[in-house]
Amino acid sequence: MAKQIIKMDMNRVEGDLEIKLEVDDHTVTDAWCVGTMYRGFEQILVGRDAKDALVITPRICGICSTSQLYAATSALEVAFQTPLPPNATRIRNLCLMTESVMSDARHTFLMFAPDLCNPAYRGQPLYDEALELFEPPFKGRVARETVHHSKQILGIVIAFGGQWPHATYMLPGGVTCPLTAETLAACLAAIDTYTEWYEQTVLGCPSERWLGLNTTADFFAWLDETEAHRQSAVGVFTRFGRALGLHQTGQGTPHLLSAGCYYDPENWQPPFTNRQCLQPAGFYDGQTRRIEPFDQQQVAEHVRYSWYADYGGGRHPWEGESQPDYQPDSDRYTYAKAPRYQNQVVQLPAIRKVRQSLVG
C-alpha cells in the first residue's frame, strides 16, 4: 500500500476539528490534530467594557456556555475585588454542575458511542447490543433517552438563568435571580428524575454502589456482579469497547491535571488568594506517581506549529498573543495552540481520576 494522507472531519465535537493521518502500509506513521477555524475571541474583547465579557464569552460554545460565564464572572470579581454572598456561589456551582452532568452524558452517548455502531464492527458478538443502545442518529434507546433527560436536567439552569444556553444571570458580586423554596423544590425534582434514569439505564445500580468503586479491580468485580451491571450503558460500552481493543489504543501521556472546579462558597471572597474548590485541583506526575499542588503559573501555550505569529517558546495565557498568521504551505497546520504544564503534555481528568491512578 502506497503512503497516503487521510483526512477525517470530527463533526460531532463542539468546534471545527480535523484529524489528518499519514498511513504507510496500513500503519499510521504521523498524525495531526487540526483546528480549522480562527475564532478570535481575544480580539473581539479588546477595547470593550470589561463587563461585556459576561455576554460575549458564553458564546464560545453552545454546550458549555455556563462554564464560560462562570469563568468570566470570576475573573471580573478578582479584578474588581468584589465581595459576594455565599449563596450566589452556591447557585453558580449548582448550575455549572448541572451543565457538567448534561455535557458528560451527551459527549459519551451522542458524540462518541455512535462510532461503536460502525458497520465495520458488525461481526463483533456485542454489535447488536451496542446498536440497540447507541445507534445514530438518535435511534438507539440510550441515545434517545439521553436527548430527553439531558434536556430536562437543564431546567435547573433555566430556573435560575431564564434560558440555556447563553444565560447571563451571573455578574460580579452575585447573581440576578432570587433563591426561593419553589425554585429549590423544582431543582430537587429535576435531580431526582435524572438520577432515577441514570441509575437504572446508565449504571444499572444505585449511585452509592457506583461511588464505592475505587480501583480498576473494584470496577471489573462490579461489572461481573449482576446482569443489570453488564447490560447497563456503562456495561455494554465497556464490554464492547474492550472486545474492540479500545483499552489498548489511544494511550498517551501519564501526567494528569485538574485545575479544580466549583469555588467554595464560604471562601470565594476578596482578596481571592485562597482559591479553594469543592472539586480540588492537583497535578499527578506520571513518572514519580505523586500528586502535587496545582500552580496555574506553570501553564504555557506554544504556537510554533499554529497559524499564529510565533512569539518563541511557551507563554502563560496572560502573556500570550493570538495574532493570526495563516501559512498553509508551511509546517504549521492548526489554529489551536499547544498547552503545556511544567513543559509537559498532560491529560485533564477530574481529580478523582488523579487520585485513583495511585491505587487503580
> Among residues 216, 233, 251, which one ends one of the domains?
251
- Return the bridge partners of 347, or none: 256
Q: Are residues 149 and 185 in the same domain?
A: yes
DSSP-derived secondary structure for 34-48: EE-----HHHHHTTS
Instruction: Give the pLDDT of residue 251.
Output: 77
Query: The whole model's pTM is what?
Result: 0.92
What value does the mean pLDDT of the chain take? 92
Q: Are residues 186 and 242 in the same domain?
A: yes
Q: Are residues 11 and 60 in the same domain?
A: no
Instruction: Give the total number of structural domains in the chain.
Output: 3
Q: Are residues 282 and 309 in the same domain?
A: yes
Q: Are residues 264 and 227 in the same domain?
A: no
Residue 340: all three cell numbers together: 503545556
- Return the bridge partners of 8, or none: 19
Q: Are residues 103 and 233 in the same domain?
A: yes
Q: Are residues 218 and 268 in the same domain?
A: no
Q: Report the distance separating Cα 149 and Cα 142, nearest Å.
A: 10
Q: Are residues 243 and 287 in the same domain?
A: no
Residue 345: domain span: 254-360
Chain segment 10-34, per-residue pLDDT in tens: 877 766 899 999 999 889 999 999 9
Instruction: Give the pLDDT of residue 84.
Output: 96
Q: Are residues 50 and 133 in the same domain?
A: yes
Q: Which of 33, 39, 3 is nearest to 19 (CA)?
A: 33
> Among residues 216, 235, 251, which one ends one of the domains?
251
Across the range 113-142, mean pLDDT stands at: 96
Instruction: Give the pLDDT of residue 102.
Output: 97
Q: Are residues 62 and 45 in the same domain?
A: yes
Q: Are residues 189 and 281 in the same domain?
A: no
Q: Are residues 218 and 312 in the same domain?
A: no
Tell me which residue has cell 447490560: 231
